[in-house]
Amino acid sequence: MLRKGGGMMLPHSDLSKYDYDLENDSIFFYGTNKKYKKSLDLDDIIIDVSEDNYAMAIEILDASKKFNVPKSDLLNVQFFDAEIHVSEETIKVIMKLAIKKRNGLINKSMEVFGLNTANLPASTQALALSC
């Protein structure tokens, strides 16, 4: 599946579920029909990679601190989107989420960079979840 992003078409996976563990402050976005190959850890952002070298899930540890929101807010995520830019040397992940609070939405974003230690092929891909 492809999604338009910044004037280009990105390989795109629609996620179907998310779980937030309030006690451990970890949030997990998942739900594709791809087969798991390996995981990458980029500063406590764990990306599950499928056999075809595309992101299939993302877990964020210490999520409330990373998005600078109270833990209880992460129980009300309405939307999550991630763009993953892989080069020969690095991986950059840009994440955005919307949290329902009172009668509106609060938008938060975060970026993380890391080395491409898994030797993934260069690509730009996207993950999205609407709740």
pTM value is 0.87
3-state secondary structure the chain: CEEEECCEEEEEEECCEEEEECCCCEEEEECCCCCEEEEEECCCEEEEEECCCCEEEEEEECHHHHHCCCHHHHHHEEEEEEEEEECCCEEEEEEEEEEEECCEEEEEEEEEEEECCCCCCCEEEEEEEEC
Q: What is the pLDDT of residues 8-61, one digit of tens each?
A: 445 567 788 999 999 999 999 998 788 999 999 999 999 999 998 989 999 999
pLDDT the model gives residue 26: 98
